[in-house]
A = this chain, B = another copy of it.
Amino acid sequence: MADPLTSTELDDALASLAGWEVVDGSLHRELKFADFPEAMAFMTRIAFTAEKMGHHPNWSNVYNTVVVDLSTHDAGAITALDVDLAKKIDEVAG
């Protein structure tokens, strides 16, 4: 099981990510796309990554907006798994 990040590890992770902040104990990012199909295409791409990792986002969508919250249920905290998934989201979202 992944361990909770220390505050130093979390600060380092946030510095390496684009547009993420910690909200209510999760890594949180809001993404805007051109339209609804683009938002869904993003979610579908990330879905395959998440399933392969065995680590799934808490996310919501309205039209061209996707809001993502990442935390690790088993650890009750943000772990390296969340940072890995956030990095993959940044790669796909550009």
What is A's interface to B at a CB cutoff of 8 Å?
36-37, 40, 43-44, 47, 50-51, 56-63
Contact = CB atoms under 8 A, between A and B. Distances in A.
A62 B56 contact: yes
A59 B61 contact: yes
Given A43-B43, A44-B44, A50 B36 contact: yes
The copy count of this chain in the complex is 2
A62 B37 CA distance: 20
A58 B47 contact: no
Contacts of A60: 58-61
Contacts of A58: 60-62
A63 B40 CA distance: 16
